[in-house]
Amino acid sequence: MKVVVLIKQTFDTEAKITLDVQGKINKEGVSLIMNPYDEFAVEEALRIKEKNKGEVTVVSMGEEKAQDVLRQALAMGVDKAVLINPALEEIDEYTTATILARAVAGMEYDLILCGWRAIDDGSAQVAGRVAEILGLPMVNMVTKLEVNDGKALATREIEGGSEVVEVPLPAVITAQKGLNEPRYPSMKGIMQAKKKPMNKLGLRDLGLDESQVAPKVRALSYFLPSPRAAGKIIPGEPPEAAAALVKALREEARII
């Protein structure tokens, strides 16, 4: 079985976000990691490979530094990696999905896995768009997955519970927290990762040009949330303090 996993390099969850002089997100000095939901997808692909034999390929779109997360996946046990650097000034979910779908379309695959959303933009659009472009069924936010006899049996989260969905392969499955516990790369895996193939592509290699992947949406501006105001202590004895608290909640906080 051949599994393709789409992964993304994102800001560390503990990174402090700032804006540069041009009002854009400042990436300098920020630690970058593999999107945590994509880690679940990589781990699930490796478990499927170990059970059914086959091959796992990871695909990511980004700049040269994105190869760090690809190397991490290779160290975990993935067989091959593909890095697509479109060298574009602006991208959106349409751009990303179009490029990834074109790359995957040229591969042999039985299953496509990815995280259900990225922790930086949180749009949760790319997987669905890729599935639509490739004409594949998709199951979202999966917490349990069984693959047998050309079918995938997936348990997914829904509001107030869960449901079990069966789809024919190939299909797109997105991983939710709880699907598995991602493994840590071993020293042996890290050393072996240096020898595993990583194919680097540009737009022309995929038969695309900038006009075909021009973003449909552009961010006009970025701003940071207002800092939280300091707490206020109401002094005095219970009756008077309670009255002052109610007044503050009504006139200052305006929540009652």
CA torsion angle 192 194 197 201 (round to 10): 150
**What CATH number has the domain spanning 2-213?**
3.40.50.620
Look at residue 102 in the predicted model and tell me its pLDDT.
96
Instruction: Using the predicted structure, report yes or no on whether residue 30 has a pLDDT greater than 90.
Output: no
Instruction: Using the predicted structure, report yes or no on whether residue 22 has a pLDDT greater than 80.
Output: no
Query: What percent of the chain is predicted at pLDDT more than 90?
Result: 66
The per-residue pLDDT for range 232-249, each reduced to its tens digit, is 888 888 888 888 888 888
Cβ neighbours, 10 Å, residue 39: 24
CA triple 69-138-155, angle to 5 deg: 90
Domains of the chain, by residue range, sit at 2-213, 226-256
Tell me how far apart the 2 most distant CA atoms of the chain are, in Å.
75
Measured on CA atoms in the order 102, 104, 110, 111, is the torsion positive or negative? negative
Side chain identity at residue 193, one-letter code = A
Instruction: Using the predicted structure, report yes or no on whether residue 166 has a pLDDT greater than 90.
Output: yes
Least confident residue range of 17-21, 78-82, 106-110 = 17-21
